[in-house]
């Protein structure tokens, strides 16, 4: 897969800004974007993300690293500061990704915000905004039908009820004993069950490495896991109690409403991310028409905004971030996967136009995410859920195919 990504980027770097790559390059980029967008949260599902702030910073760092690589492949094109805005808007929306996944699950969260992302991005490309020329597909009938079918599929996904919202630990705490020493963590359920873990596997195996992996950190092979009870004495000062985020203390119904509402709100933020790029291409004389030439500026906006949010967060919390340090490397890997998908999306938009590529890339990753939730993490169970999911996946696939056919 990495070789295919490199060859696709290299192909695009070999052509002049005025030369359009072949259609197969656009569809290949679309496939890569769909796969990586649907899978990029998988590396962090077994780790404690806390309230998500540390996670989002290192995720954005991984994104920026990919942006630097693309910038080097493109021989360091002209940097347009206006494009930074698109990345900053995306970062603000991404701050709420962790609360959404913790309340309604990865599959359902991506499905809902993906629908509103799709509608917003498709509309801005199809009809144009801020003086940006509209991108009219060759077959309007196929395009409109594809978007409508994908939207209906996303509505069906709403009725899928994941395990994440049904079985969450009611109360858990992290005790910071001394600086530099391993923390001792407790949970009111046996085995420290994570909202990201397979709930049933944790109950059957007695896993203690879910939401709070530090229970097993620092042990040598063969050592027995420490048994921690709620009544275990906690060393004296300095002590610091980190309670669960407020959204995990809600009732199941309120958690569902909270997660769905956030998904609806951040979808349009993701959908306008390409607008600054198209604005530059439409209004700046001599601006490159190659989408990859704007990847680094867009990703730099993402990283700069995440840095600002992290600084504000540490000031507000008194330099007491929430989350395990073990999230750092998985978050960077997750960000690099997102970066590959994002760069592929820029290429797909250039070759296929946003009105065609956007409905596919913003809706099809939901299929990949749902398959992860069903086959690996078992967040989605039950005959009713699986029937609805299959119907929605079939409709989403049909919509993506129709959008692809609208190119011709």
Determine the pLDDT at residue 193: 32
Lateral strand order in the sheet of 172-175: 184-187, 172-175, 241-242
What confidence score (pLDDT) does residue 34 get? 92
Task: Identify which has the larger pLDDT, 139 or 281.
Answer: 281
Whether the per-residue pLDDT at 157 is higher than 90: the answer is no
In this predicted structure, what is the pLDDT of residue 59? 95
Model pLDDT, residue 399: 84
Q: Are 113 and 266 contacting, i.e. CB atoms less than 8 angstroms apart?
A: yes
pLDDT of residue 339: 96
Share of the chain above pLDDT 90, in %: 27
Query: What's the rounded mean pLDDT across residues 343-366?
Result: 85
| The pLDDT value given to residue 113 | 83
Backbone angles phi, psi at 54, to 5 degrees: -65, -40
**What token pair was written down for 97?**
């990704």
Q: What is the pLDDT of residue 243?
A: 64
Considering 71-80, 155-164, 218-227, 353-362, the range whose residues carry the highest mean pLDDT is 71-80
Rounded to an integer, what distance in angstroms lies between the CA atom of residue 190 and that of residue 321?
26
Res 106: pLDDT: 66
CA 220 to chain centroid, in Å, comes to: 34
CB 57 within 8 A of CB 275: no
pLDDT of 215 reads 28
Taking residues 333-352, what's their average pLDDT? 94
pLDDT for the residue numbered 178 = 40
Question: Which DSSP string do the residues of 159-227 spell out, in sequence order?
Answer: T---GGGT---S-EEEE--STTS--EEEESSTT---TTS-HHHHHHHT---SS-GGGSTTPPTTPPPPP
- For the chain, what is the mean pLDDT? 76
Residue 128 has pLDDT above 90, yes or no: no
Lowest mean pLDDT among 139-143, 239-243, 302-306: 239-243
User: pLDDT band for position 367 (50/70/90)?
Assistant: confident
Torsional sign, CA 56, 195, 151, 367: positive
Distance in angstroms (rounded) separating the CA atoms of residues 294 and 83: 7
**pLDDT given for residue 91 in this prediction:** 93
More confident residue, 147 or 107: 147
pLDDT at 203 over 60: no
- What's this model's pTM, rounded to 2 decimal places? 0.72
Taking 50 as the threshold, does the pLDDT of residue 223 lie above it?
no
For residue 357, name the pLDDT band (cuts at 50, 70, 90).
Answer: confident
Distances in Å between the Cα of 143 and the Cα atoms of 21, 133, 146, 315, 407 are 22, 18, 5, 48, 8
Q: Are 342 and 71 in contact (CB under 8 A)?
A: no
> Smallest Cα–Cα separation from 132: which of 304, 354, 309?
354
Range picked from 37-41, 104-108, 204-208 for highest mean pLDDT: 37-41
User: Residue 174: what pLDDT?
Assistant: 40
Closest CA to 290 of 3, 2, 11: 11
Lowest-pLDDT choice from 23-27, 131-135, 306-310: 131-135
Q: What is the mean pLDDT of residues 97-106?
A: 82
**Averaged pLDDT, 393-397:** 84
Instruction: Assign 217 a pLDDT band (cuts: 50, 70, 90).
Output: very low
* pLDDT over 70 at 102, yes or no: yes
105 vs 63, residue with greater confidence: 63
Give the mean pLDDT of 69-83.
Answer: 95
Q: Is the pLDDT of residue 208 over 80?
A: no
344 vs 214, which has greater pLDDT? Answer: 344
Render pLDDT for 167-192 as a digit per residue (tens, 0 to 9).
Answer: 444 433 343 434 444 444 433 433 33
Q: Is the pLDDT of residue 11 over 70?
A: no
């Amino acid at each position: 897969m990495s070789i295919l990504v490199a060859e696709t980027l290299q192909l695009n770097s070999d052509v002049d800004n005025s030369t359009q790559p072949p259609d197969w390059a656009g569809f290949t980029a679309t496939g890569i974007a769909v796969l990586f967008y649907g899978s990029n949260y998988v590396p962090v599902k077994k780790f404690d993300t806390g309230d998500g702030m540390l996670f989002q910073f290192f995720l954005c760092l991984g994104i920026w690293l990919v942006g630097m690589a693309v910038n080097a492949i493109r021989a360091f094109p002209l940097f347009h500061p206006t494009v930074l805005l698109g990345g900053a808007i995306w970062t603000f929306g991404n701050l709420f990704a962790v609360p959404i996944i913790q309340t309604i699950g990865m599959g359902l969260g991506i499905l809902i915000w993906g629908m509103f992302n799709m509608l917003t991005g498709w509309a801005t490309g199809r009809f144009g905004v801020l003086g940006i020329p509209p991108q009219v597909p060759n077959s309007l009938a196929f395009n409109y039908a594809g978007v409508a079918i994908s939207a209906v599929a996303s509505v069906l996904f709403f009725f899928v009820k994941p395990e994440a919202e049904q079985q969450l630990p009611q109360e858990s705490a992290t005790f910071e004993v001394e600086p530099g020493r391993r923390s001792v963590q407790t949970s009111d359920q046996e085995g420290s069950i994570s909202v990201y873990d397979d709930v049933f596997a944790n109950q059957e195996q007695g896993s203690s490495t879910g939401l709070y992996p530090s229970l097993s950190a620092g042990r040598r092979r063969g050592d027995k896991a420490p048994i921690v009870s709620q009544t275990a004495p906690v060393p004296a000062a300095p002590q610091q109690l980190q309670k669960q985020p407020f959204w995990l203390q809600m009732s199941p119904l309120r958690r569902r409403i909270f997660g769905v509402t956030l998904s609806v709100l951040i979808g349009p933020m993701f959908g306008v991310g390409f607008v600054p790029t198209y604005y530059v291409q439409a209004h700046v004389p001599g601006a490159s028409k190659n989408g990859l030439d704007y990847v680094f500026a867009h990703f730099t906006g993402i990283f700069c905004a995440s840095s600002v949010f992290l600084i504000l967060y540490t000031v507000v919390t008194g330099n007491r971030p929430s989350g395990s340090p073990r999230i750092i490397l998985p978050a960077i890997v997750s960000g690099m996967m997102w970066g590959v998908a994002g760069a592929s999306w820029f290429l797909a938009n250039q070759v296929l136009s946003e009105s065609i590529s956007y409905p596919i890339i913003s809706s099809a990753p939901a299929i990949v995410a749902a398959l992860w939730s069903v086959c690996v993490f078992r967040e989605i169970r039950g005959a009713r859920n699986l029937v609805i999911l299959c119907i929605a996946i079939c409709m989403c696939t049909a919509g993506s195919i129709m959008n692809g056919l609208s190119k011709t």
